Structure formats: structure tokens, C-alpha cells
Amino acid sequence: MVDIIIGGESGKLHAVYHKSAVVGAPLAVVLSGNPRQKYHMNDRVSYAMFRAFMDIGFSVVRFNYRGVNDSEGAIGTTTENMLDIATVIDWIQNHNEDSTQIWLAGHQLGAWYVLQAMMRRPEISGFALVSPDSSVSDFAFLSPRPNRGLLIQGANESEDARVFATHLTQVLKKQAQIDLETIRVKNADAAYSQPADLRQMYNDLKAYVGREKEEDKLL
């Protein structure tokens, strides 16, 4: 994996990129959580998601939104962060023109960005949501978009978060016509703060993506 700089609307975006040795390998973009809560591309969960895709043979990129660490500009709004996400998706597609499949994975607020990007980008092949931010409850942007995805949640997250995840699953299935699988990681909190919990989240994500790839459901 290498550090790279991607030109964004408000300046340079700092990213880390792994290029698969396999010609035409599928692509993935990893989205970190809310930067105002100190999430960034090198936090534990973002790195674990990145490694899951990398270790299964994807070309994958993770990056810092504008205003975060070495990315230029001020911390952005949702609209501005979505522009950064679109820029990074375009970048990895332009650098892998022989690939026809792309996945998105996001943690916390990044999970919401995954869903918004999927609604705007018909080429998205699959997605993973890791402990979505339960304080966000605007589903207005969802429209029918048949697809498959995975929701991973810690079994020791708050009761409100667990109830919210169940509701989100129902909304995605009904409103967006998405086939969503849900996995709860035993004993894990929303930050996967214990090494064993983080490893289990990594294994669950890797296994799901690998199964979908093997069965050619999404890829």
C-alpha cells in the first residue's frame, strides 16, 4: 500500500491505496466516520475494513475527507464530504479502467455516506455498513435500488443503536429493495475496542465479500 494525493475540490486529499496484482480486480473505497468526532482513515475500524478488501484481492483506497489531518481545506459539510467521496471513486475507477466492479464500505457516519453514494452511483456492486451512526435518521434520499449489502454491528452497542439497526434494515429492504444481511459481533462495542472484536469484524466482512464474489452474486 502507498500514500497518495488526490486532487479534490478544496485542495489535496490524502489517501492510502493498494493496487491488486490481479488484472481487472474489483475495487473498493473505504469511508471513515465523522471527522468532527476524530474519526479518520487510519483509525482502527477504517484500517480493518481496508485490510479486509485488500486481503481478498481488491484494489482499495481509504482517504481523509477535506480538513482532516493532511487533507487540505476545512472540515466539510455532508454535501462537501460527498463531493470528496465522488472524487475518490472517480480516481480509483480512472486508475483501474479494466475493472467493472466497485464496493463501498463505511463506519459510523461513513455508513450513511455509503448509502447516499450508492443511490447516486448505479455502478456500485455491493456495500458494507459497520455500526451506522444511529443519530442520523433521514431516509428521504433512499429510492428503489436493488442491491446486496452487509450490516455489521457490535452486540454490546446501546439498546437504541440495536433497535435503530433493526429499523434501518427494514427500511433498506422495503424502501430501497436491498437484500441486507446483518451480523452482530459478540461482545463488541461500536468502536470494536477489543482486538478480538476488531478481528471478528474483519473476518466477517472478508467472509461476506468473499462469498458474494465466489457465488458471482455481485461481481
Let me know how long the chain is: 219
* Per-residue pLDDT tens over the stretch 153-193: 999 999 999 898 888 888 888 888 888 899 999 999 999 99
Q: Domains of the chain by range and CATH?
A: 2-214 (3.40.50.1820)
CA atoms within 13 A on the CB side of 94: 7
Taking 50 as the pLDDT cut, the residues of the chain under it are: 217-219
Task: From 168, 136, 137, select the one nearest 152 (Cα to Cα).
Answer: 168
Q: Which three cell numbers stand for residue 29?
A: 473505497
Q: What is the predicted pLDDT for the residue at 28? A: 97
Q: What is the predicted pLDDT for the residue at 218? A: 43
Q: Reduced to 3 states, what is the DSSP secondary structure of residue 42?
A: coil
Sign of CA dihedral 179, 136, 120, 51: negative
Q: What is the predicted pLDDT for the residue at 197? A: 96
Helices and strands, number each (H, E), in the chain: 5, 8
SS3 content of the chain, % helix, strand, coil (to 5): 35, 25, 40
Q: What is the predicted pLDDT for the residue at 212? A: 67
Task: Return contacts of 34-40, CB within 8 angstroms, 24+ apart.
Answer: 34/108, 34/109, 34/133, 35/64, 35/65, 35/67, 35/68, 35/75, 36/75, 37/108, 37/109, 39/107, 39/108, 39/109, 39/110, 40/64, 40/68, 40/69
Between CA 137 and CA 114 the distance in angstroms is 15
CA 15 to chain centroid: 14
